[in-house]
Amino acid sequence: MDPTTFVLFGATGDLAKRKIYPALYNLFVRGKLPQPFSVIGLGRREWSDEFFRASVEQSLRKFSRSEANDAGLLHRFLQAFRYSVLDIGREEDYRKLLELVERREAELRMPPNRLFYLSVGPEYFETIAANIQSSGLGSANGWKRLVIEKPFGHDLASARELNRKLSESFAEEEIYRIDHYLGKPVVQRLESLQQANPVIQAMWTNRYISNVQITAAESVGVEERAGYYDHVGALRDMFQNHMLQLLMMTAIHLPHESSPEKVRFKKKRVMEALLPVLKEDVRLSVVRGQYAAGSIGGKPVVGYTSEPGIAPDSANDTFIAARLLIENNDWRGVPFYIRTGKRMKEKSTRIVVEFKEPVKQAATGKENGIAPNLLVIEIGPDESIKLRLNTKDAGPDGGFKPVQVELFESPKDSPEAYENLIGDALNGNATFFAHWDEVELSWQWVQPVLDAFAENLVPLHKYEAGSYGPAESAALLAQDGNCWWFDQEEPQSKSESEKGERYAYHANY
């Protein structure tokens, strides 16, 4: 790994404390930081180097998974940290920054490889990128990389404009767009799941797969982010980025030998094949919801419009469910159902691949207990990949029962998403960052949905906090004869007898 200067805009902010410093420390503890390594933190606050280091140390004690009480280790880690006051709009501050960066590079005898991490609001991205270029920070004789946080644009037009501006200062291969779902350990394993298992690879088509369900349910509400969330909603906050990335990662087919370029090319192909939805038809395949009062874990919680900072008449979406279709030879006819929402029954991010049921038809006689084979990919908070198969009890009257094959269970110290992603960015590996093509194609799919919401063409369904979302979400799948797996409520599709079977299967789970 090349010696690197890590220039952090927003070093005094929440994300830096909660995610970035713990990730850097974990990388350091695992011996995965480059040597030498220099960190320059930036913010408007008039902090000294010592105050900055104390603040980083405090955040490690609070948020790091690695023990931060080895004084020697901590001291060596913090040695790398310097702070400089910088107002994003003030050009002279960038010149001062350049002097500091160069001084540290000389002290540490390191080449000018610079990673600029923008942990600030998106309204600052363009200005920072332009100032990096004009100040000379970005034109030294080493590499430069720009890591940016979401959101990338507010809609298709603003995303395109932002990309145009950034590309005046950074080439596409220098831009690392963070989508922290791509850093989650299980998501990073999807690639090798196919590559290492020809059986799964062979079955990864519409010939064997009935439908795919991608859920990111959260039990938290809007928390302290009313100002941000009420302008964004579940569609922009989760669906346009994380959920569509999960769809791409699930739908790609990878050759045995894959490279970052191949992965991204295949993801782009998936997005290009996604059947566009017309604004007038959005309501047929998209369900929009907003939580009402209810209870979570036995405690009463208020509805969205009673949350502090939310307008009492807000029509913002806190829940989305959608059916998407991929028009290519591999996936034609296989619905991909996606749902995400706040204040749902439990925190759970998972992908369920439901296989078709030829097995069921082939099994003669008793069908009692038979359920479709499933591949269940738990992304968080549990991390595992399990394949559910059916087996038959011995003896003439034996019924079928599900068994599960564990393909992956996360080790206790599996790295956190930010650790994976920052490590990759330092290594120059862009596989798990969102390429502009993917971002643009995602916004392209989402734009008619945004338009339909804005024109109120899609009803806003209230759902009780602590539920699995509005009933219309289950009805969306029921139209195709499907139901969401692992919801504890009774599935609302298929015949009564099949419901019974599925219920039994859930109970056995």
Ligand X SMILES: NC(=O)C1=CN([C@@H]2O[C@H](COP(=O)(O)OP(=O)(O)OC[C@H]3O[C@@H](n4cnc5c(N)ncnc54)[C@H](OP(=O)(O)O)[C@@H]3O)[C@@H](O)[C@H]2O)C=CC1
Ligand Y SMILES: O=C1O[C@H](COP(=O)(O)O)[C@@H](O)[C@H](O)[C@H]1O
Specify binding-site residues for substrate.
Answer: 180, 184, 218, 237, 342, 347
| 34 token code pair | 């480059």
One-letter-per-residue 3-state SS of 262-294: HHHHHHHHHHHHECCCCHHHHHHHEEEEEEECE
87 interacts with ligand X by CB under 6 A: yes
C-alpha span between 170 and 175 (Å, rounded): 7
10 interacts with ligand X by CB under 6 A: yes
Between 122 and 294, whose beta carbon lies closer to ligand X?
122
237 interacts with ligand Y by CB under 6 A: yes
120 interacts with ligand X by CB under 6 A: yes
Least separation in angstroms between CB 384 and ligand Y: 16
* Residue 242 annotated to the active site: yes
Between 277 and 320, whose beta carbon lies closer to ligand Y?
320
C-alpha span between 204 and 329 (Å, rounded): 11
Chain centroid offset of residue 392 CA: 38
C-alpha span between 159 and 439 (Å, rounded): 8
392 interacts with ligand X by CB under 6 A: no
Between 87 and 327, whose beta carbon lies closer to ligand X?
87
349 interacts with ligand Y by CB under 6 A: yes
C-beta nearest to ligand X: residue:
13
> Which residues fall in the annotated binding site for NADP(+)?
10-17, 44, 87-88, 150
Least separation in angstroms between CB 5 and ligand X: 18
Least separation in angstroms between CB 85 and ligand X: 8
Between 150 and 494, whose beta carbon lies closer to ligand X?
150
Interhelix angle 244-251/260-273, rounded to 10 degrees, is 110
Least separation in angstroms between CB 317 and ligand Y: 12
User: What is the secondary structure of 302-344 as a DSSP string?
Assistant: --GGGSTTS-TT----SEEEEEE-B-STTTTT--EEEEEESSB
- The phi, psi pair for 312, rounded to 5°, reads -60, -20
13 interacts with ligand Y by CB under 6 A: no
Among positions 119, 305, 316, 482, the unique one binding ligand X when judged by CB under 6 A: 119
C-alpha span between 260 and 262 (Å, rounded): 5
For residue 218, the partner it binds in ligand X, ligand Y, none, with Cβ less than 5 to 8 A by kind, is: ligand Y
Q: Which of the residues 242, 253, 256, 506 is marked catalytic?
A: 242
Per-residue x/- marks for ligand Y, 124-163, CB under 6 A?
----------------------------------------
Between 229 and 453, whose beta carbon lies closer to ligand X?
229
380 interacts with ligand Y by CB under 6 A: yes
C-alpha span between 147 and 391 (Å, rounded): 49
Least separation in angstroms between CB 369 and ligand Y: 33
Q: Are 133 and 168 in contact (CB under 8 A)?
A: yes
Any long-range contacts for 292-300 (C-beta under 8 Å, 24+ apart)? 292/462, 292/463, 292/464, 292/465, 293/464, 293/465, 294/343, 294/464, 294/465, 294/466, 294/467, 295/465, 295/466, 296/219, 296/343, 296/345, 296/465, 296/466, 297/219, 297/466
Q: Are 245 and 328 in contact (CB under 8 A)?
A: no
Least separation in angstroms between CB 238 and ligand Y: 6
What is the identity of the amino acid at 78?
L
15 interacts with ligand X by CB under 6 A: yes
Residues at the interface with ligand Y (CB under 6 A) = 216, 218, 237-238, 349, 380
Annotated catalytic sites, by residue?
242
